[in-house]
A and B are shown apart, each in its own frame.
Chain A
């Protein structure tokens, strides 16, 4: 089993450096939830189907991430607070290449 380090800035601006497992079939949204970095019910509302934007994050490091799927692209085109570096964290599956990744959670849509 191997863990990678990920830096996550939560919605209050607090930086968390956490270990994320690469062998548990987890995506970044699930990692955020497992560490409770955003209140339950405010992130991953659709469960990870790229059908809401509650898990939107901004990628701050220059890691090469898998390209956005049509579904992710479409959802982000209707989300708010979207920037060029926006991703849906539920679509980012944790793997070794993401070691050292830095992301910031997008504000909650109200």
Chain B
């Protein structure tokens, strides 16, 4: 079991900055995130978009902001459970919590801080009859182990980076790769688009556009799909396949956290904004976009503030008998758990002859 002081659910900017503020108080953090990388929306949805309202940064790319935060929290050695979704929470007799992920990883902490943003990112599923029937029986939305597709006939649907990248990758592994997209244009890195073009010319990827998968056939497992070409001469193509991988991106869902007994309003968790952003369950806090209170603004800079106050309150819960005085980093410097020390250089005091 992973043990920590503050278990942070969600590794977006708010969750990451909480690690820094906790570190100043010598509290250790561990983060859980459903995505395979840290950064939340900033990395997943808009890494290349500039943000203009981070104090002190006239302009910073969302991806750069995440890189900077990772650098800033490095001395405090946060732990990460990535690619797993926080599923259940159990309150122990001593008031602490055990949070278990969908893969069964258990985390123990006296404090839980939910920094879940809009929720965990779940694959967007196309509206097709029998879709759920064939899930794990030929249909998958996430590619965990590409080896599963060795020598198989697969069809991929989608027009973004993941559809392009996986088509390229699987072209070498699968027996047959068909890429279906509703338009002739793809939205992805130029390299990927050109590579798919090349593989198509070489006959390694079968490209069908503009088209969409409209029907799934099979008795027990997926056996074939019907693809409708939507160009001028509309036609239906029946394709025998072993696997269908719809890659239509991800959309956030509040998910299992919604069933933890927390007070929910407008798809967000109600917190006490007059004090410390604690939820209706003592010891569980909610910070950043995931919370709501009168006057709430879903801004990264507000999440940073909320994270800071949350850490102070968490410290008092963990050490009720200790008296803590806030220290400026300009005065106290930063002492990392890795033994590193950063502090302001001493002023020179020297007489002038």
Contacts and interface: CB of A to CB of B under 8 A. Distances in A.
B45 interface: yes
Contacts of B160: 78
A45 B41 CA distance: 10
A30 to B, nearest CB: 13
A78 B249 contact: yes
A51 B252 CA distance: 12
A41 B267 contact: yes
A24 interface: no
A46 B46 contact: yes
Interface string B241-254: 00000001101101
B268 A40 contact: yes
B63 interface: no
Given A77-B182, A78-B158, A80-B126, A45 B251 contact: yes
A74 B187 CA distance: 7
B267 A42 contact: yes
A74 B124 contact: no
Nearest to B157: A78
Nearest to A108: B251
B158 A39 contact: no
Contacts, number: 50
Judged by DSSP, the binding face of A is: loop
Contact of B267 (A40, A52, A78): A40
Interface in B224-244: none
Interface string A33-49: 00000011110011001
A81 interface: yes
A54 interface: yes
Contacts of B182: 77-78
A77 B126 CA distance: 12
Contacts of A49: 45-46, 49
A94 B45 CA distance: 26
Contacts of B204: none
Contacts of A80: 124, 126-127, 248
B246 to A, nearest CB: 10
5 contacts: A39-B267, A41-B267, A45-B251, A77-B182, A77-B185
Interface of A: 39-42, 45-46, 49, 51-52, 54, 73-74, 77-78, 80-81, 109
